[in-house]
Chain A
Amino acid sequence: MWGSNAREAHPIFFHHVLKGIRNGAKMLSVDPRRSQTAKFADLWLGLNVGTDIALANGVGKYIVDNNLQNDEFIAHSTQGLDAYIESIQEWTLERTAEVTGLPEYAIAELAEAYATAESAQICWTLGITEHHTGAENVMALCNLSLLTGHVGRYGSGLVPVRGQNNVQGGGDMGALPNKLTGFQDVANDEIRAKFEAAWDCTIPAKPGLHLTLMFEAMEKGELTTVFCIGENPADSEADINHARALLEGLDMLVVQDIFLTRTAEMADVVLPASAGWAETEGTVTNSERRVQRSRKALDPPGDAKDDLEIINMIAEAMQPGWGNPSPEEMWDELRTVSPMHAGMSWERLEEHGGLQWPCPTLDHPGTLYLHGWLWDDDLGGREPAPFTVNEWRPHVDELNDDFPLLMTTGRVLDSYNTGVQSDGYNSPIRSGEALDMNPADAKRLGLVTGDRAEVSSRRATIEMEIRVQPDLPVGLCFTTYHFADTTDTNQLTIEAWDKKSGTAEFKATAINVKPLVAA
């Protein structure tokens, strides 16, 4: 478990991890915090924030130096090993230990455990991706799976655990700047032609913008109108004051949401939607690529409408004759253009309790794991999987005497993202927002749990409650952004972001903490 606190963020996924542990599986946790997940680990490695590439490269070098790699797999199924090996030469145990803050034996133990296991998985979440090197962090982990052959087999693989119920489905459906439905490349003429024929329209070949680029475009004045569906960027973006100013500056902001969120409050037009999971029919796709039916159990309140219906109404207004196709009709149309969904009729989804894509035909059972072809004797003309070279770069927000502490963020068990959903119920275990800090840091600052303090970053200063938390290493603080109404954590975070994925560096903010003297 690398950069994942699944025990709190994905509790039922973690039940499956626990079943494995109960059956004798070994679990190691790589996380700057000794999280609830790390507490189940046979070995917890509390690395410095943002040193994942250093650790992954160090582990890779240890594996190669000790001849623990899977030579047969590498020769048959991969390419680019030499460049990779050359790139990790600097990551001796000594250097890796120096950068990550981990003892050398622990790095060696991690490498040995992973490389010598009969099957092994690396599971990660936002601890890996919410960095300015997020995509490279992932690639660095992929290298380890290629080195050892822990990919494409039952029980082995790379497991990014999805944070939202349909974030996978959003991508599947084509809500990515460079992809059409079913991860089909928008730049590919043949693909575009297929969709244009089916949809009777022209599709621009140029990829769109992802969220972070949209904000850049707003800043440059290139983007002046935004139609925002089911997202609350006015609370969730890093360096939030800046983001809010940009949203305020738009010519036109349309928000379609089930709540009057902070973003909706800024909007020129608000379209009340209904809750997809309980008030509408449709599908969602989970982390294991399982497409499942979501169903309507409640009538939505007031004038709220199904998202699909709202979009259909807008389409009808733009192009009369569009009509109001049902969710199943739309799904069936999608199956004609997205081969990986073609075998998933609603009937079959019902029957099987969901199916995992790719599922190309009506008699296909769905796909338990991907990349199995790497183990085929004949790769079927496909390119072998490439090793990548990933250079470690420290987090952007530097520590200095003015900002001596590092703050990282994450979720807690009973709350969720900006809290618009999870604030709706009275959780008995909710303790509210606070800045968690190591006892030694707290002592140095003269703080105890419950004290209030002024927390500043290079961008803003806010007031927070302090909670002393021995599971954090010295120098590291932790908080969530579940309670934006009371503690606007994202005023502090940095808008540095990963050029490849567009994900912001929520995990590393340099801060200073000043006790507030009680009046």
Chain B
Amino acid sequence: MPEIAVTAAEATDAERNAVADSIMLQDPGQISFDAAGPALTFDGDRIARSGQERIFNRRHLLLPVLHDVRDAIGWLSEGGMNEIATALQVPPAEVYGVASFYELFTFEAPSTPDALHVCDDTACRIQGANELKAELSADGYDVHGSPCLGLCEQAPAVFVQRTGEAHVSVRSATKETVVAAIGGAMTNPVAPVPQPAEELTLLRRVHDAAAVDYDGYVVTGGYEALAKAVAMSPAEVVTHVGDAGLTGRGGAAFPTGFKWSAVAGEPGPRHLVVNADESEPGTFKDRVMMEHDPYSLIEAMTIGGYAMGAEQGWIYIRGEYPEATRQLKSVIAEARSKGMLGDNVGGHGFRFDIELRLGAGAYICGEETALLNSIEGYRGEPRNKPPFPTTHGLFGQPTAINNVETMVNVNQIMLLGGEGYATVGTEKSTGTKLFCLSGHVANPGVYEVTYGATLREVIELAGGATGNLKSILMGGAAGSFIGTDMMDVPLTIEDSRENGFALGSGVVMLLNDTVDYDDFVARIAQFFRDESCGQCVPCRVGTVRQGESLLRIREKGSPIDTERKMLDDFAMVMKDSSICGLGHTASGAILSAIDLGLIGGQQ
């Protein structure tokens, strides 16, 4: 890699300082990568070292540095990006290519220092988000529509992206609370978990405000799971996870034990990555875990690191989760100071540390290989598989990627033993499951039930639907609508599959007969259009074409049969030929809405 040439635009002093500070302050905890090594070194005017390896040492700092410069300055200027390109030795065209991929970065000086990202996605949309957006715009604020902010149970939600100050999310937002947040008012998240502690397993600590620091966590049984784990060999831990029958809770339901043993069997160095880029519209369970019981995640990851011999853990959290980010930052630092992360975890003789990375507004980065590219400092474009991350993951090394909820289950497996864990739930769906109830429901929030509970039981836990329930969106935008005839289907992996829908990330969004389905479904189509990374043709164009088709149905009265043929063709090619799951699932909700007669005239 040659020394990078940049355009003539120069950085301001403030931008220069922001870049320097950012690089200097990068998390000192990471073990595997030398962030401190300069991209180029000189000895006087006669000796220089550049060459092929240099760029890769620092490329992975690109996203954190972009964040820091944007947060200090309010936007990314040409000069600022040139400074980043020079400091990291990443070609400026690629700096721009990466930065422009993400929603949270802008390239023109904003009119006000605070950007307001108002969620106008599914759940917030039916709770007055558009009206709030209009109100704030009218008052001259820098308002951006946003995809789901993961605060569906406290809709409508606004993410306040401030400059030079901490970001904040405003829940159950009104114009007044948003204005207060711009002025510096912070949110104190309240656990939106209506169930009492005794009904909860994974979520049992969320009502206990003290559990977010080390002592409080230990008092409530924290780090007992790790103690059980290190009493076994790493291979035995993996076996327990396999025996438990744990499957991925992020949507794909892949057996976790299988993934772990594959990674453990590969030559190191290995990585454990937690996918906390919770962006599926209607999903907020991971946020609740991270805000109210962050140590559980740290402990579970530590067990994973021990089990797979992965010395470096990574949490990739979405950029719109400021409160959860602050909690994780705080507990990672505290765990380090307590010796529970670092060279000799808890005195157990193994190394494990965690690096926290922030997304910057891209749903696709929840796709595991896009997430890896994002961490590495590239555009969040999914990779082709095979090879899979278990062999060629982060930085090309063996990597296990698990969702937050999946990960936290590992603690439970250690406490119960694999076989003990497997007795909970059904034969094929073991353990408990978190569901995110939102929309037209009496008590929206996260609910934890043992696998096997029916949809009706889950809805009743939340106090039932409000109004006249017409359909339920299961699994989020990537899921599908189902009718009330499905109320008695047990919410297990196997039963849902048999009935033609997927649990996905656990979204249960209730929609009564007041919903404007044409608008609602159009928003889903718009969501996929906005969030497609654009890498492959089927998804880049298909997500646009299906939105146009819906528009023709809605505004031009185009016959449903004509459009249905087109929509089926779009769905086929996206499902069969797209690179990743986004394209594969982008048409499911739309087609199911037509099948149920929710849009396209009465059937």
Contacts and interface: CB of A to CB of B under 8 A. Distances in A.
Contacts of B50: 39-42, 44
B51 A41 contact: yes
Interface in B30-76: 43-53
Given A39-B2, A39-B3, A40-B2, A473 B47 contact: no
Nearest to A109: B47
A43 B2 contact: no
B2 A42 contact: no
A482 to B, nearest CB: 21
A473 to B, nearest CB: 4
A47 B47 CA distance: 9
Interface stretch (A99-107, A187-195, A296-304): A99-107
B197 interface: no
A401 B50 CA distance: 35
Contacts of A27: 51
A42 B46 contact: no
B1 interface: yes
A368 to B, nearest CB: 26
Contacts of B52: 21-22, 24, 40, 42
A474 B44 CA distance: 10
A40 B51 CA distance: 5
Interface in A417-450: 438
B51 A42 contact: yes
Given A21-B52, A36-B2, A43 B47 contact: yes
A473 B51 contact: no
Contacts of A41: 48-51
Contacts of A24: 52
A36 B1 CA distance: 11
Contacts of B43: 103, 106
A40 B49 CA distance: 9
Contacts of B47: 43-46, 102-103, 106
Interface of A is mostly: loop
- Size range of the chain A interface in the assembly: 20 to 34
A472 to B, nearest CB: 8
Nearest to B4: A39
Contact of A34 (B48, B51, B53): B48
Nearest to A20: B52
A115 interface: no
Interface of B is mostly: loop
Contacts of A46: 45-48
Nearest to B49: A43
A39 B49 CA distance: 8
A38 interface: yes
Interface in B1-41: 1-3
Interface in A104-152: 106
A473 B45 contact: yes
A38 B42 CA distance: 13
A438 B46 CA distance: 12
A34 B42 CA distance: 11
A234 B2 CA distance: 37
B240 to A, nearest CB: 41
Interface string B350-376: 000000000000000000000000000
Contacts of A45: 46-47
A40 B1 contact: yes
Nearest to B47: A106
Interface in A459-474: 472-474
A42 B3 contact: no
With most chain B CB atoms within 10 A of its CB, the pick from A27, A40, A474 is A40
Contacts of B48: 34, 38-39, 41, 43-44, 46
Contacts of B1: 40
Given A39-B3, A40-B1, A40-B2, A474 B51 contact: no
Nearest to B54: A42
A438 B51 contact: no
Nearest to B1: A40
Contacts of B45: 46, 438, 472-474
A43 B49 CA distance: 5
Interface string A6-43: 01000000000000011010110000001010111111
Nearest to B48: A44
A199 B53 CA distance: 58
B589 to A, nearest CB: 44
Contacts of A42: 49-53
Contacts of B51: 21, 26-27, 40-43
Contacts of A21: 51-52
A36 B51 CA distance: 12
Nearest to A26: B51
B91 to A, nearest CB: 13
With most chain A CB atoms within 10 A of its CB, the pick from B3, B44, B48 is B48
B192 to A, nearest CB: 52
Interface in B135-190: none
Nearest to A37: B2
A438 B52 CA distance: 26
B176 to A, nearest CB: 55
A24 B56 CA distance: 14
B46 A103 contact: yes
B10 to A, nearest CB: 14
A41 B44 CA distance: 16
Interface string A42-58: 11111100000000000
B2 A101 contact: no
A41 B47 CA distance: 11
A106 B2 CA distance: 20
A101 B46 CA distance: 8
B45 to A, nearest CB: 4
Contacts of A47: 46
Nearest to A7: B2
B3 to A, nearest CB: 4
Contacts of A473: 45-46
A21 B1 CA distance: 9
B2 to A, nearest CB: 4
A39 B1 CA distance: 8
B539 to A, nearest CB: 30
Nearest to A21: B52
Contacts of B2: 7, 36, 39-40
A229 to B, nearest CB: 39
B46 to A, nearest CB: 4
Nearest to B46: A46
Interface string A471-501: 0111000000000000000000000000000
9 contacts: A34-B48, A39-B2, A39-B3, A40-B2, A40-B52, A41-B48, A43-B47, A45-B46, A438-B45
Given A42-B49, A102-B47, 19 more contacts: A21-B52, A22-B52, A27-B51, A36-B2, A38-B48, A39-B50, A40-B1, A40-B52, A41-B49, A41-B50, A41-B51, A42-B52, A42-B53, A44-B50, A46-B48, A101-B46, A103-B46, A106-B43, A106-B47
Interface of A: 7, 21-22, 24, 26-27, 34, 36, 38-47, 101-103, 106, 438, 472-474
Q: Which 10 A-B pairs have the closest CB atoms?
A: A42-B51, A46-B46, A39-B2, A473-B45, A39-B3, A44-B48, A40-B2, A21-B52, A106-B47, A39-B50
